[in-house]
Amino acid sequence: MLPFHVLLLLGLLALPSAAQNRTWRNADSSSSFVGEYLSHDGKRVTIRRQDGRVFTFEIDKLHEADRSWLKTQKPPEGAAADVEINPNAVFDTLCFGDNRKEVEQKLKDSTMVETALDETFFGRFGLNGTFRTKQQIGGLHCELYFDWTENGGLSEISLQTESLGADSYGGKLHENWQELSKVLTLLHGKPLQTADFPDRSELQNDLFLASHIWRLDGGGSALLGTSMQGGKYQVVVRFTTENIQPVRVP
């Protein structure tokens, strides 16, 4: 199962239309989307969704019917070249265990994230909240935050939307949560745990409440949920080296 490269996999390439849209399903039919086939190489397929986002992921994550359909296709003329993907990457090109210098360089080289801060100030302000996704996900940008091991290796990456008031919780934040749940399910298959959008009344200050948990192939977990800080609300995705276990309901 291919690790989640939020926005490397979403790509967001501005490509000319070359084919008709069709509905694609993941392997167990738990998630689907409408998109335009661009190319495949026998192992990976690249598809542009109706909103312009481009996905590159392993073919075996698709439903059997879609895999069969791909066998009859040749890449459209002018299709985008395959993106080289590091199988150990967790988000974009970042890997668990990367040191700060490696993380900083990968972020600066990335075409998927951006910063308004001059790199000479990185040492003063740190990397947390310095970079954000260039494109919106479900109508919102996400800022990047990091945790490290005692030896200085990357142990967790968090994507956090901007903090919004209670009146946006059931609107923009819900839309962002829905978008991320679809993407994560497509890339990682059926979650180990899935629940409804967390009720705002359940949130406490500085508490992250997960609705979904996925297991990462290379080890670790991906979690989706919401949090509250100082009376403001966020949607959060956590990629952690921890193998988080789902809550078992008797």
Q: Which pTM does this prediction carry?
A: 0.71
In angstroms, the CA 10 to CA 133 distance is: 11
Residues 85-128: tens digit of each pLDDT = 566 788 888 999 999 999 999 998 888 889 877 776 666 668 89
Residue 184 vs residue 167, higher pLDDT = 167
Reported confidence tier of residue 14, pLDDT bands at 50, 70, 90: very low
**pLDDT reading at 148 higher than 50:** yes
In angstroms, the CA 32 to CA 66 distance is: 11
3-state secondary structure 171-231: CHHHHHHHHHHHHHHHHHCCCCEECCCCCHHHCCECEEEEEEEEECCCCCEEEEEEEEECC
Q: Give me the amino acid identity at 196.
A: D
Q: How many angstroms from the chain centroid is the CA of residue 143? A: 12
Residues 92-102: tens digit of each pLDDT = 889 999 999 99
Residue 183 has what pLDDT?
A: 81
Residue 250 has what pLDDT?
A: 47
